[in-house]
Structure 1
Amino acid sequence: MTASRIPPADGTVAVVTDPARPPGRARPARTTAKQIRRSAWLFLLAPCALFLIFVLLPNVIAAVLSFTDYAIVGDTAWVGLENYARIVDDPYFWIALRNTAYYTALFVPMGFAIALGAALLLNRSRRAVRLFRTLFYVPVVSSTVATATIWYWLLNPQRGLLNVVLGWFGIDGPAWLYDSEWAMFAIVLMSVWATFGTNMIIFLGGLQGVPRDLYEAARLDGANAWQQFRYVTLPSLSRTSFLVSTLLIIAAFQVFDQAYVLTKGGPGNSTITMVYYIYDKGFGALEMGYASALSFVLFLIIMIFSIANAWISHPREKRKAAPR
């Protein structure tokens, strides 16, 4: 459709359409919406295919293998629930579960507190703060081998920096990685140092989303720094805290690299974790069927703890949702 403007004598503007050209048709809204949906499915096709091939399909195969005696070499036979029944009578499984629970009990609260503390200190707009944020995040992107090399030196019983510092205060430092009572605690220290940067960034995002008006209102009411942290910061970070604690629980039950690189499960099986034991059974003893059963038991344990954490972390929301 074309239009021309012809100024008449009275100064007004009249619009005259050209009848020779047919008016153009507007694009139907349904066609546009259908094309948008088609494009969205095309974009989702690649990640869905990756999820199917590398996540869902391996899990289905592992579930099937957990009911067999598959050992890579030799024939495979269906054994039903025999692998799961074997777990109950496996003493090394209970040792690995106890070590993993001990690691989790130390790693989760320490990792949570240090990440939150670092985020509170770095929640400022100064230029120097950006440098410290980068430095604190460097261990996250460093390889486990490089990190373990640093901690081998730090935890050396004779010349390690940690024992040297303890000696300044008259404390005789332990043998750390060579002592079954301290080896797991040493791995916890390394893990917290190597991973708290990610949780610190998550907490920083949560802190920067807290409205400044809440702090101003608290100061007007006479709240000190601790009261502001307790009644303003922590409630505002409830969802962020739930996310960080869940990630810490999952990472704690899946710990493997640190124990494998630093101690190889020793001394005296004191640092054998669940994933390390699964790895040893699967690739060491070539008992893939039994290792698959152990993997699903670990998955069940992680799911139980994650659900319990969700239940504990959101009591107020459950009370609001409960019928009266």
Structure 2
Amino acid sequence: MADAALSSPANRAAPAKARVQNVQAPLWRNGLFVLPFLVVFVALLVVPLVWGIWLSLHKADAFSSGRFVGFANYVRLYNDKIFWQAIGNTFYFVLLTVPALAVIGLMLALALNSRTRTAAVLRTVFFASSVLSVTIVTLIWRIVFVPGFGLLATVYGWFGAAPPAFLSDPDLVMIAIAIATIWWCIGLPMMLFLSALQQIPGDIYEAAALDNANRWRTFRYITLPSIKRTFVLVVVIQIVLQFQLFGQAKLMTNGGPNNVSKPMVLYIYEAAFTKWDLGLGAAASEVLFVLILIAAMVQFLVSRRKGESA
């Protein structure tokens, strides 16, 4: 009788249901591993973004959020010639640095993609500048560009010529900041390209050599398609980073002469922490966020379409 009760359909279904519940239960508990990341993400990214949007709609200072003014801060930005100049300076700087970082980083990676000791030492040398702080980088390049007794002035003096006034000439000051930035940031693109190049199977190059393919054809039809995604990644990362130019311009020129080297982040800093107009600074930061997002997405979509058409 007891055996019949144990073997009834209801008793057999109960353990099966329990097993199903036990299988599904850990899936909910796995969410606990994601919870710390979500807390940090919301606290450090989502909340500041929402707070910045809210602040940009208020007449705020360092002591109070002030009153709600709607889009008045954005209208003030639209009518501010210095703000438009800062936007132009930022785009000009991005055009100077991002292509150079991508191309030079790829060239260095191609040149140092070997397992020799010399290549390892040179990789370390080129990457070493990336670990320096912006203060040290600007100090080094101010010594190079300073007129009269700087390194560049000394080299020009050997030939009896006057050096260009990189830090005071409106046509050259952004180029000087771009040179310092490229020297500082070249390590990351180089290492990303090196990592991508080392993932390409050597059998493909051996097959190309058997077909008597020269270096240019090998680079064009094998290397470039293989590192296409890494190239897009490098460009997008550098667009995001270089749009945030601040330290180099602040320490090398302080935005001068006549605001020709003032980027958007320096404009935001001066509006929010020099003039204590937090609402205007928040509005400018939201405009910068939108510009970075648009530039990165356009670059990603264009590169993706080219890859699909190829």
Q: TM-score, normalised by structure 2?
A: 0.88
Q: Distance in 1 between the 2:304 and 2:156 partners?
A: 41
Q: In structure 2, what is the Cα distance between the partners aligned to 1:228 and 1:162? A: 39
Cα distance change of structure 1 residues 71 and 155 upon mapping to structure 2, 3 Å threshold: same
Is 2:283 the partner of 1:285? Answer: no
Q: What's the counterpart of residue 46 of structure 1?
A: 36
Partner residue in 2 for 1:94 = 84
Match of 2:22 among 31, 36, 49: 31
- Work out the CA distance in 2 between the residues paired with 1:239 and 1:266: 38
Q: Which residue of 1 aligns with 2:7?
A: none
Other-structure match for 1:65: 55
Consecutive unaligned residues in structure 1, runs of 5 or more: 1-24
The residue correspondences of 1:253-292 to structure 2 (distance < 5 A) are: 253-292=243-282
Q: Higher relative CO (CA 8 A, sep ≥ 6), structure 1 or 2?
A: 2
> Is 1:55 the equivalent of 2:45?
yes
Q: In the alignment, is residue 83 of structure 1 matched against residue 73 of structure 2? A: yes
- In the TM superposition, residue 227 of structure 1 has moved relative to its aligned partner by 1.8
Structure 1 position 312 matched with structure 2 position 302: yes
**Residue 201, structure 1, aligned to residue 173, structure 2:** no
Secondary structure of 1:242's aligned partner:
helix
Residue matched to 2:12: none
Equivalent residue letter for 1:260: K
Q: 2:227 aligns with which of 225, 233, 237?
A: 237
Larger radius of gyration: 1
What's the offset of the Cα at 1:230? 1.6
Distance in 2 between residues matched to 1:41 and 1:171, nearest whole Å? 68
Distance in 1 of aligned mates of 2:152 and 2:196: 33
Specify the code of the residue in structure 2 equivalent to 1:31. Answer: N
- Is residue 2:201 matched to residue 1:215? no
Structure 1 residue 166: Cα displacement: 4.8
1:158 corresponds to: 148
Amino acid at match of 1:291: G
Residue 122 of structure 1 deviates from its aligned partner by 1.3
Q: Deviations over 1:188-210 (max 9, x none)?
A: 00100101101111111111111
Spell out, residue by residue over 1:60-99, the C-alpha distance to the aligned partner (whole angstroms, 9 max, x if none). 1111111111112356111111111222111011110111
- Structure 2: tracts of 5 or more residues without a match: 1-14
Q: CA deviation at 1:219?
A: 2.1
Q: What are the Cα deviations for residues 189-243 of structure 1, in whole angstroms up to 9, with x where unaligned?
A: 0100101101111111111111222222222222211221122111111100000
**Greater mean alpha carbon deviation, residues 166-175 or residues 183-192:** 166-175
User: Counterpart amino acid of 1:69?
Assistant: K
Whether 1:117 and 2:107 are equivalent positions in the alignment is yes
Bigger helix fraction:
2
User: Per-residue deviation at 1:167?
Assistant: 5.3
Q: How many residues align?
A: 294
In structure 1, which of residues 300, 311, 317 is the aligned counterpart of residue 290 of structure 2? 300
The CA RMSD over aligned residues, in Å, is 2.2
Percent identity at matched positions? 37
* Aligned residue identity for 2:149: R
